[in-house]
Amino acid sequence: MDNNLIKWDLDLIKRYDLSGPRYTSYPTAVQFDPALAPADLVNCAQQTTDLSAPLSLYVHIPFCEHVCYYCACNKVITRNRNKAQPYLDTVYREMAQLSQWYSNDRSVTQLHWGGGTPTFISHDQMRELMGQMRKHFNLLNDDSGDYSIEIDPREASEETISVLREIGFNRISLGLQDIDPKVQEAVNRVQSVEQTRLILDAARAEGFRSLNLDLIYGLPFQSLEGFQRTLETVIDMNPDRLSVFNYAHLPDRFRSQKHIDAATLPSPDTKLAILETTINTLLDAGYVYIGMDHFAKPDDELAVAQREGHLHRNFQGYTTHADCDLVAMGVSAISQIGSVYYQNEHEVAAYTKAVETHEHAIKRGVKLSADDHLRRRVITQLICHFELEKAQIESEFSINFDEYFADALNELNQFTADGLVELSPERISVTPAGRLLIRRICMSFDAYIPKSENVQRFSRII
């Protein structure tokens, strides 16, 4: 399937642009239950995990020196670098327990440090953190894994990039958002193009094999012309991957967003025009539309995985590692192990106390039922590949697809009438007009969402 075929239909977009999950998991985090006993979650995870399969590791480093007003991440704003070491010491204690539960000397084929700002910690602390990960888990030494880190170019230098490469990273992701100084000042993230280029050039010189840039549309004072200039600059920077996120203004949920004057935000029509231009510009520049805000060069592993039919999606977004359990550590981190999802405590103080008291920090979670597994498989297939062979699902789960999903298929009939989906006895295919609305299409298979509900707990689809 040629995913560069995207049809922009403004009427359909406006009709279906409701709120809905991003489906980095199914069930989504809304279904995580704080009443479930952590011991039961861990026991279920240990019983249902494949101890011979590889692992993906994630560590959350929450600290940032400056607050970016748009940010919805779990973060701690501080200039006190001394706060990092006690937190890392707690992570090491949690890590030791997680290793006993799940390691079994399984190869770690994927690793990611997120935040916050992972480069907030010192170079020596970076070396120590990676050393602890190697002590407790079987990290690869041949540079064949996908070992990535999020970088704020304002908090990194050429030496930082050299240290990261030295300790095993081979992928980086940089936040850029927008190059317009007026936009940057409005969101309290002033970052020059030169700072960004410096890090990209250093990463290429050090042999990093994949560079990602994050952009955001819908920020204060953005315009179609201004964002076009950002796109032209970014294309010249030549990243391997691009993430172009929709800014969701939810100041009641995210305190830092109260600093943003809603009157300065672009109108809904301008946001849609920016998105349409972005998609067309990136496709014309040779990028492949992976789906849901993500683009990659045709030879990138994400694009190859999508063409070959084994792209996957988890809490880190699109990935090529469908066979990995995700073992996550740090404040608010979410693990996916066997038939279990669980999330750690959200506040650093509560996280620290939980680890000191219980050797873990599990706050809430969910155990997947047989129905959850089935629906997760369907949603993942559609959101990654835009098509689904019914016979494959029937064979995997011993069901009659049309009978089991009669309600969902009935809802899809309306999407078919509107040209978003093509249905046949053998398959479901998302059309070029439907790909931008894939989240809404997947909601048809979500057993936890009333079908008529515009779910305000989630961001808007576009």
Q: Residue 276: inside a domain, yes or no?
A: yes
Q: Residue 335: inside a domain, yes or no?
A: no
At residue 323, the pLDDT reads 77
Residues 259-269: pLDDT tens digits?
999 999 999 88
Q: What is the CATH number of the domain that holds 374?
A: 1.10.10.920
Q: How far apart are CA 133 and CA 326, in angstroms?
A: 14
Q: Domain boundary residue among 329, 351, 377?
A: 329
Q: How far apart are CA 304 and CA 319, in angstroms?
A: 11
Q: What is the mean pLDDT of residues 282-303?
A: 93
Question: Residue 144 pLDDT > 70, yes or no?
Answer: yes
Laid out side by side, the sheet with 427-430 consists of 387-389, 427-430, 421-423
Question: Residue 214 pLDDT > 60, yes or no?
Answer: yes
Q: Domain boundary residue among 280, 313, 329?
A: 329
Residues 259 and 393 occupy one common structural domain:
no
At residue 1, the pLDDT reads 47
Q: Which pTM does this prediction carry?
A: 0.92
Question: Residue 200 pLDDT > 80, yes or no?
Answer: yes
Question: Residue 199 pLDDT > 90, yes or no?
Answer: yes
Residues 123 and 148 occupy one common structural domain:
yes
Residues 247 and 314 occupy one common structural domain:
yes
Question: Residue 139 pLDDT > 50, yes or no?
Answer: yes
Question: Residue 18 pLDDT > 90, yes or no?
Answer: no
Residues 291 and 405 occupy one common structural domain:
no
Residues 272 and 185 occupy one common structural domain:
yes
Q: What is the mean pLDDT of residues 132-137?
A: 98
Residues 23 and 35 occupy one common structural domain:
no
Please state which of the ranges 8-12, 48-52, 366-370 shows the lowest mean pLDDT.
8-12
Buried b (16+ CB within 10 A) or exposed e, 427-453: ebbbbbbbbbbbbbbbbbbbeebeeee
At residue 3, the pLDDT reads 47
Helix/strand/coil for 373: helix
Q: Quick one: what percent of the chain has pLDDT higher than 70?
A: 96
Q: What is the CATH number of the domain that holds 152?
A: 3.20.20.70
Residues 289 and 275 occupy one common structural domain:
yes
Question: Residue 451 pLDDT > 70, yes or no?
Answer: no
Residues 302 and 413 occupy one common structural domain:
no
Average pLDDT over all residues of the chain: 92
Q: How many folded domains does the chain comprise?
A: 2
User: Which residue from 373, 379, 369, 424 is spatially nearest to 396, judged by alpha carbons?
Assistant: 373
Q: What is the mean pLDDT of residues 220-238?
A: 97
Residues 123-133: pLDDT tens digits?
999 999 999 99
Q: Residue 301: inside a domain, yes or no?
A: yes
φ, ψ (nearest 5 deg) of residue 38: -55, -40
Q: How far is CA 409 from CA 413, 422, 441, in A?
A: 6, 11, 10
Q: Residue 281: inside a domain, yes or no?
A: yes
Q: Residue 345: inside a domain, yes or no?
A: no
Q: What is the mean pLDDT of residues 291-301?
A: 91
Q: How confident is the model at residue 328 (pLDDT cuts 50, 70, 90)?
A: very high
At residue 148, the pLDDT reads 96
Residue 343's DSSP bridge partners are 334, 364
How far the first Cα of the chain sits from its last, in Å, is 23
At residue 77, the pLDDT reads 92
Residues 82 and 68 occupy one common structural domain:
yes
Q: How far apart are CA 335 and CA 326, in angstroms?
A: 5
Ramachandran quadrant class, 309 (left: phi over 0; alpha: psi -120 to 50; beta: rest):
left
Q: What is the mean pLDDT of residues 393-398?
A: 97
Assess contact for 319 and 292: CB atoms under 8 A: no
At residue 455, the pLDDT reads 47
Residues 264 and 214 occupy one common structural domain:
yes
Task: Kindly report whether the peptide bond that precedes residue 450 is cis, defined as omega within 30 degrees of 0.
Answer: no
Residues 428 and 308 occupy one common structural domain:
no
The whole domain housing 85 covers 31-329
Q: Residue 342: inside a domain, yes or no?
A: no
Residues 260 and 290 occupy one common structural domain:
yes
Q: How confident is the model at residue 161 (pLDDT cuts 50, 70, 90)?
A: very high
